[in-house]
Amino acid sequence: FIGKTAAEIFPEGTAEVHVINSMRALNGEPTTYEWSFGEGIDQKHYSINLSPVFDEVGGVTGLVGIGRDITKLKETEEALRRSRDDLLLTMSRLLKVKDPYTVDHQRKVERISTAIAERLKLPNEKIEALRIAAIVHDIGKLSIPADILNKPGRLNEIEWALIKNHPDEGFKILKEIHFGLPVAEIVRQHHERIDGSGYPRGLKDGEIMLEARILAVADVVEAVSSHRPYRPALGLEIALEEIKSGVGTKYDEEAVKGCLELFSSGFVPD
């Protein structure tokens, strides 16, 4: 491929990503990126490394590119991801015996929080960590008696203390699973608030992970707008008013902004 352009080497419609990375490499930056093309069983994945070639006075004269076929690795990663998601969904559904509301709640929160993260252009790794955490963010409620979870009236002090402990209980369960991502910590922080009024540890502002801040907003919006054992659904409008009124005190400004823009665009989590 000596002397050829990206458009001449790569399939039609895929050259842009290579041009962008080639420009980085031509600026003197060693560049590694992944590239996929094709669909279904014909899809291929490559890891491509581009390095600039310099002349005797330090000028860039071209690029050297090395491509490595990582299709098998990607297929293995996808199989592991599916197995992990099946495990997480099974864990989530265990709650259905105690709290029928929670399974549907977690599913919707996963969709809302992931969509907010994508709108905020978080890195893929952070989006994936948030997605996983959202699927099981209330798994710690397995430690709470069913009659408390489904109590139609106001909780007493002891019952409320048990509820407030569920993020820590979720952390204890999830930290034993190797995700390679901070899933357990996101779950532990999803009821923390910017002003320190949250639980279980009363973390403030920068002490709270961005993923947990987004999850907190998504969790509140879904919970307020949906039916709960102790009250009927309050609706989306009231849910959005809740996060707007708590910007900068309870809820992260960027997370709220992303959420409001998301629902303004017609997003529906069902």
CA distance 244 to 57: 58
Backbone angles phi, psi at 106, to 5 degrees: -65, -40
Q: Give pLDDT tens digits along the chain (270 positions).
A: 566 666 666 666 667 777 788 888 888 777 888 888 778 878 889 898 988 888 888 888 888 888 899 999 988 888 888 888 888 878 877 888 888 888 889 999 999 999 999 999 999 999 999 999 999 999 999 999 999 998 988 899 999 999 999 999 999 999 988 888 999 999 999 999 999 999 999 999 999 999 999 999 999 999 999 988 778 889 999 999 999 999 999 999 999 999 999 999 999 988
- Do residue 23 and residue 127 come from a single domain? no
Question: Where among 69, 86, 109 does a domain terminate?
Answer: 69
* 265 class by beta-carbon count within 10 Å (0-12 exposed, 13-18 middle, 19+ buried): exposed
- Do residue 84 and residue 191 come from a single domain? yes
Q: Is residue 28 part of a domain?
A: yes
- Do residue 89 and residue 211 come from a single domain? yes
Q: Is residue 52 part of a domain?
A: yes
Number of domains in the chain: 2
Q: Is residue 121 part of a domain?
A: yes
Q: Is residue 136 part of a domain?
A: yes
CA distance 243 to 252: 9
Q: Is residue 128 part of a domain?
A: yes
Domain extent for 22: 6-69
- Do residue 63 and residue 89 come from a single domain? no
Quick one: how far is CA 258 from the chain centroid? Answer: 14
- Do residue 226 and residue 99 come from a single domain? yes
- Do residue 21 and residue 56 come from a single domain? yes
Q: Is residue 260 part of a domain?
A: yes
Question: Where among 52, 69, 86 does a domain terminate?
Answer: 69
* Token output for 178: 């190797």
- Do residue 19 and residue 50 come from a single domain? yes
pTM of the model: 0.75
- Do residue 64 and residue 89 come from a single domain? no
pLDDT 10s digits, 81-116: 888 888 887 887 788 888 888 888 999 999 999 999
- Do residue 122 and residue 227 come from a single domain? yes
Q: Is residue 270 part of a domain?
A: no
Q: Is residue 269 part of a domain?
A: no
* Token output for 248: 């900068």
Question: Where among 21, 42, 69 does a domain terminate?
Answer: 69
Q: From 122, 135, 137, select the one nearest 168 (Cα to Cα).
A: 137
CATH label of the domain that carries residue 86: 1.10.3210.10
CATH label of the domain that carries residue 47: 3.30.450.20
- Do residue 239 and residue 112 come from a single domain? yes
The torsion of the CA quartet 247, 248, 254, 257, rounded to 10 degrees, works out to 20
- Do residue 59 and residue 103 come from a single domain? no
- Do residue 231 and residue 252 come from a single domain? yes
